[in-house]
Amino acid sequence: MKLSVEDLQDVGRGAAFLGTGGGGDPYIGRMLATHAIREYGMPEIIDVEALDDDAAVYTIAMLGAPTVLAEKAACGDDVDLALSRMEKYTGRKADAIIPIEIGGVNSMLPIMAAARTGLPLVDADGMGRAFPEIQMVSFNIYGVSCTPLVMTDEHLNSLVVETGHAKRAEDLERVASIEMGCSVILSSYPMTGRQVKETAVRQTMTLALEIGRAIRRGRRADNPVGELSRYLATTPYYSHCRVLFDGKVVDLRRETTQGFARGHCTLQALDGGAGEMEVIFQNEHLIAREDGRVRAMVPDLICMVDSDTAEPVPVEALKYGQRLKVMGVSAPPILRTPEALEIIGPQAFGLNETFVPVEEL
Amino acid sequence: MKLSVEDLQDVGRGAAFLGTGGGGDPYIGRMLATHAIREYGMPEIIDVEALDDDAAVYTIAMLGAPTVLAEKAACGDDVDLALSRMEKYTGRKADAIIPIEIGGVNSMLPIMAAARTGLPLVDADGMGRAFPEIQMVSFNIYGVSCTPLVMTDEHLNSLVVETGHAKRAEDLERVASIEMGCSVILSSYPMTGRQVKETAVRQTMTLALEIGRAIRRGRRADNPVGELSRYLATTPYYSHCRVLFDGKVVDLRRETTQGFARGHCTLQALDGGAGEMEVIFQNEHLIAREDGRVRAMVPDLICMVDSDTAEPVPVEALKYGQRLKVMGVSAPPILRTPEALEIIGPQAFGLNETFVPVEEL
């Protein structure tokens, strides 16, 4: 598959939707990717099955608080440095790049990296959405080590972490990323082609593109949320999808603390009814409650879109008075297994709830 | 030179004196070094001039708050891992080990490392005393890069920092060391033999040994502080040496904060006079004022010893009511140059004073 520069807008919008409120603004990433593509050409996007079993595949991403990513983007040299440090440390040249996270800006960073290096980009990721922490990824859930993990910043400082525990790596890179200015480039989870085949969430770059296209199509037909829902129902992962709430923002609390954007957003029904929905987030939306009753929870996707245009609205763009639809979308099945829920279920985020799929709530 | 296990006690006491209140309790280090020597044999200690110009020389140290070092010591595997990670990262096997800091526990860690690896230990260091931060070292002052810098912990997690700025490395390793439990093993400032010859503070292992011996000799003659002062006057670095104050501790404030032991200690004259001395520390003693008048300041050494036995008393062992002599000792000349004072002078520690040598105060 080859994307066109025009496709990037659809991929970005789809990735923003899959960001479930977080993942960083793909607009920034799209600017970076577009710039890289104009200079270096569009990278080839390959299916997981096209990888040799012993290929060396490295992830590339931005890490930090989305509120900061918007102000301090990648410079390019930091991306190249992250990859070359990873290659130096593992002793293996990269054969391909894979996104760790399709949701948000990290759909775009790998496109930028692949364009700059001429490496193919794998049509897959480790989340099928966005998550706030580095251990919250299918690669880790199914046994791939997240280290050596390389971080670089725009001053070309670098840092390599090696540990047997993904949560330890998370704790270390989190404090380091805060010290490096709350926004860094990350290369982690060095994998063989076989490991990618065994653990990745497949075809998510294609899905992001098609989600973006569905929204665009829907706008022409003046029914973007409807068209989006119709498309999602046809996908292998996101087929359980419903509009949980239609309302306006009446309360919003958002702090950038401990390296994350944390807070909650309350919406009131537009019809003047008493109904309220509260959504709690840590970079991404974690749980949606309607009048105290849970309607959707992590790892299922809770996505807020503009009521009229279906434009995905990230946490950092939430505003008082905004009219939004809150959508609940099923997570890919490999994120709903018992071993997955230990790492990305509600309790992994400090919530008391036990996971119930959105289609059963 | 070969040390005996019995010499370690003298080296440790000398190193505690050169620790100027900080550097970590060499007792802990001596236990570690003794254990390693019993298992692996005593390492060879070589003069700087014995190094080939292109030899690969790596530092090894513990890093953290002395108050924590005392409770969470090195396990040995973490020391080996730090060296092997450094070798992997630079691509050069070590030819020798050099202490970064002769003061305190870091006189002993390199002995332990040299014993475990069979490498020779260089009779020199980068401070001729102890300092709290990684950029505060003659290697950095005279142009050696402090990175790649490797940190390891007792769980064998590792971290490699690479940056062009020693203060940046300090900031990064400091937050990481706090996250790793406030006490880690550090290998940094990879150097050639030539760089060691150009930048190291020479013969400081020998000096620590002789300082310890002088105190022991003095005790037999019932005049340890006198004998210590007499010996220091014969050394190439510490020849300006005086007892600034003789008193008892009447006020003490000590906090472990931001990865350091910070605070101040006030002593009152024993003769019942109104005289008071206040000493401020950040791991190490920074400045000593007698009734508001500066008597000694960093980089000169401010050393507190037991009034009767001349036992060096580190910050973490200070107690209300203790009878202490405060000694002011000249720093090695290469730590008193204008380029050195920019990095280790009083203003580098946030003090307002301009450096004046102890012999002129």
Using pLDDT thresholds of 50, 70 and 90, give the confidence band for residue A359: very high
Using pLDDT thresholds of 50, 70 and 90, give the confidence band for residue B178: confident
Which pLDDT score is estimated for B174? Answer: 87
The reply to whether residue B157 touches residue A163, judged by beta carbons under 8 angstroms, is yes
Cα–Cα distance for residue pair B356/B295, rounded to 1 Å: 9
Cα separations (Å) of A88 from A28, A82, A83, A243? 29, 10, 9, 48
Q: Could you tell me what percent of chain B has a pLDDT over 90? A: 80
Among candidate residues B195, B259, B236, the one with its CA nearest the CA of residue B62: B259
Tell me the backbone φ, ψ of residue B275, rounded to 5 degrees: -60, 135
Residue A81 burial by Cβ neighbours in a 10 Å radius (0-12, 13-18, 19+): buried
Say how many C-beta atoms besides its own lie within 10 A of residue A1's C-beta.
Answer: 13
Which ipTM score applies to this complex? Answer: 0.77
Which pLDDT score is estimated for A25? Answer: 79
DSSP state of A105: G
What confidence tens digit (pLDDT) does each residue in A232-243 have?
A: 999 999 999 999
State whether the Cα torsion B207-B210-B215-B216 is positive or negative: positive
On whether the CB atoms of residues A277 and A289 are closer than 8 A, the answer is yes
Tokens of B335: 């730590």
Q: Does B92 touch chain A (CB under 8 A)?
A: no
Rounded mean pLDDT, A239-253: 95
Cα separations (Å) of A268 from A73, A247, A280, A302? 35, 5, 15, 17
* B-interface mutation test, from A157, A185, A258, most B Cβ less than 10 A away: A157
On whether the CB atoms of residues A42 and A130 are closer than 8 A, the answer is no
Residue A7 burial by Cβ neighbours in a 10 Å radius (0-12, 13-18, 19+): middle
On whether the CB atoms of residues A73 and A28 are closer than 8 A, the answer is yes
Rounded mean pLDDT, B166-195: 91
Which pLDDT score is estimated for B75? Answer: 81
Among candidate residues B156, B138, B159, B139, the one with its CA nearest the CA of residue B148: B159
Q: Could you tell me what percent of chain B has a pLDDT over 70? A: 97
pLDDT surpassing 90 at residue B289 = yes
Chain B: residue whose CA lies nearest to A179: B172
Chain A residues with CB inside 8 Å of B164's CB?
Answer: 155-157
- pTM over the 0.95 mark: no
The reply to whether residue B158 touches residue A156, judged by beta carbons under 8 angstroms, is no
On whether the CB atoms of residues A284 and A18 are closer than 8 A, the answer is no
Tokens of B27: 């007792």
What confidence tens digit (pLDDT) does each residue in A90-101 have?
A: 999 999 999 999
On whether the CB atoms of residues B105 and B26 are closer than 8 A, the answer is yes
Which pLDDT score is estimated for B109? Answer: 93
* A-interface mutation test, from B159, B177, B184, most A Cβ less than 10 A away: B159
Cα–Cα distance for residue pair B334/B360, rounded to 1 Å: 18
Q: Does B192 touch chain A (CB under 8 A)?
A: no
> How many residues are there in chain A?
361
The reply to whether residue B179 touches residue A180, judged by beta carbons under 8 angstroms, is no
Which pLDDT score is estimated for B261? Answer: 81
For residues B324, B330, B335, B336, the Cα torsion angle rounded to the nearest 10 degrees is 120
Task: Measure B225 CA to nearest chain A CA, in Å.
Answer: 45
Which pLDDT score is estimated for A311? Answer: 97
Using pLDDT thresholds of 50, 70 and 90, give the confidence band for residue A113: very high
Among candidate residues B139, B203, B151, the one with its CA nearest the CA of residue B11: B203
Q: Does A175 touch chain B (CB under 8 A)?
A: yes
> How many residues are there in chain B?
361
Which pLDDT score is estimated for B95? Answer: 98
Say how many C-beta atoms besides its own lie within 10 A of residue B319's C-beta.
Answer: 10
Q: Does A188 touch chain B (CB under 8 A)?
A: no
Question: Residue B15 contacts by C-beta under 8 Å, 6 or more apart in sequence?
Answer: B23, B26, B29, B102, B103, B104, B105, B106, B107, B108, B208, B212
Chains A and B form CB pairs within 8 A to the count of 66
Residue type, A49: E
Which pLDDT score is estimated for B2? Answer: 82
What confidence tens digit (pLDDT) does each residue in B226-262 have?
A: 999 999 999 999 999 999 999 999 999 988 777 678 9
State how beta strands B56-64 and A284-290 pair: unpaired
More confident residue, A259 or A317: A317
Chain B: residue whose CA lies nearest to A155: B163
What confidence tens digit (pLDDT) does each residue in B101-126 have?
A: 999 999 999 999 999 999 999 999 99
Using pLDDT thresholds of 50, 70 and 90, give the confidence band for residue B57: very high
From A10-24, A66-80, A111-125, A198-212, the region with the lowest mean pLDDT: A66-80
Chain B: residue whose CA lies nearest to A169: B157
Q: Does A253 touch chain B (CB under 8 A)?
A: no
State how beta strands A158-162 and A149-152 pair: antiparallel
Among candidate residues B259, B139, B256, the one with its CA nearest the CA of residue B187: B139
Q: Does A74 touch chain B (CB under 8 A)?
A: no
Mean pLDDT of chain B: 93
On whether the CB atoms of residues B87 and B227 are closer than 8 A, the answer is no
By three-state DSSP, how is residue B349 classified?
Answer: helix
Among candidate residues A83, A94, A334, the one with its CA nearest the CA of residue A203: A334
On whether the CB atoms of residues A182 and A174 are closer than 8 A, the answer is no
Say how many C-beta atoms besides its own lie within 10 A of residue B186's C-beta.
Answer: 25
Chain B residues with CB inside 8 Å of A158's CB?
Answer: 161-163
pLDDT surpassing 70 at residue B66 = no
Chain B: residue whose CA lies nearest to A81: B162
Which pLDDT score is estimated for A66? Answer: 62
Tokens of A66: 């989305």
Q: Could you tell me what percent of chain A has a pLDDT over 70? A: 97
The reply to whether residue B163 touches residue A158, judged by beta carbons under 8 angstroms, is yes
The reply to whether residue B162 touches residue A162, judged by beta carbons under 8 angstroms, is no
Domains, chain B: 6-202 (3.40.1610.10), 240-349 (2.40.390.10)
For residues A336, A342, A347, A353, the Cα torsion angle rounded to the nearest 10 degrees is 40
Cα separations (Å) of B114 from A70, B42, B190? 48, 8, 15
Using pLDDT thresholds of 50, 70 and 90, give the confidence band for residue A23: confident
Chain A: residue whose CA lies nearest to B164: A157
Which pLDDT score is estimated for A12? Answer: 94
The reply to whether residue B176 touches residue A178, judged by beta carbons under 8 angstroms, is no
Rounded mean pLDDT, B18-43: 90
pLDDT surpassing 90 at residue B325 = yes
The reply to whether residue A171 touches residue B179, judged by beta carbons under 8 angstroms, is yes
Which pLDDT score is estimated for A29? Answer: 85
Chain A: residue whose CA lies nearest to B87: A89
On whether the CB atoms of residues B205 and B121 are closer than 8 A, the answer is yes
Cα separations (Å) of B294 from B315, B327, B361? 20, 13, 7
Rounded mean pLDDT, B319-342: 96
From A26-30, B116-120, B351-355, the region with the lowest mean pLDDT: A26-30
The reply to whether residue B159 touches residue A155, judged by beta carbons under 8 angstroms, is no
Which pLDDT score is estimated for B182? Answer: 73
Of A164, A165, A172, the CB nearest to B159: A172
Tokens of A195: 């490991």
The reply to whether residue B161 touches residue A161, judged by beta carbons under 8 angstroms, is no
By three-state DSSP, how is residue B246 classified?
Answer: strand
Cα–Cα distance for residue pair A196/A144, rounded to 1 Å: 9
Which pLDDT score is estimated for A70? Answer: 64
Task: Measure B74 CA to nearest chain A CA, in Å.
Answer: 17
Rg of chain B on CA atoms, in Å: 19
Which pLDDT score is estimated for B138? Answer: 98
Cα–Cα distance for residue pair B119/A231, rounded to 1 Å: 66
On whether the CB atoms of residues B142 and B166 are closer than 8 A, the answer is no
Residue B334 burial by Cβ neighbours in a 10 Å radius (0-12, 13-18, 19+): middle
On whether the CB atoms of residues B146 and B139 are closer than 8 A, the answer is yes
Q: Does A85 touch chain B (CB under 8 A)?
A: yes
Q: Does A160 touch chain B (CB under 8 A)?
A: yes
Among candidate residues A267, A143, A152, A207, the one with its CA nearest the CA of residue A13: A207
Chain B: residue whose CA lies nearest to A167: B157
Tell me the backbone φ, ψ of residue A55, rounded to 5 degrees: -65, 150
Rounded mean pLDDT, B278-301: 96
Task: Measure A88 CA to nearest chain B CA, in Å.
Answer: 8
Of A159, A164, A175, the CB nearest to B179: A175
For residues B307, B311, B317, B320, the Cα torsion angle rounded to the nearest 10 degrees is -10
- In 3-state terms chain A splits into helix, strand, coil percentages (rounded to 5) of 35, 25, 35
The alpha helices in chain B, defined as continuous H runs, are 7-18, 26-40, 66-69, 77-90, 109-117, 138-141, 166-179, 193-199, 204-220, 224-232, 338-344
What is the tally of helices (H) and strands (E) in chain B? 11, 17
Which pLDDT score is estimated for B329? Answer: 98
Beta bridge partner(s), residue B293: B290
State how beta strands B301-306 and B293-297 pair: unpaired
Of A162, A175, A178, the CB nearest to B157: A162
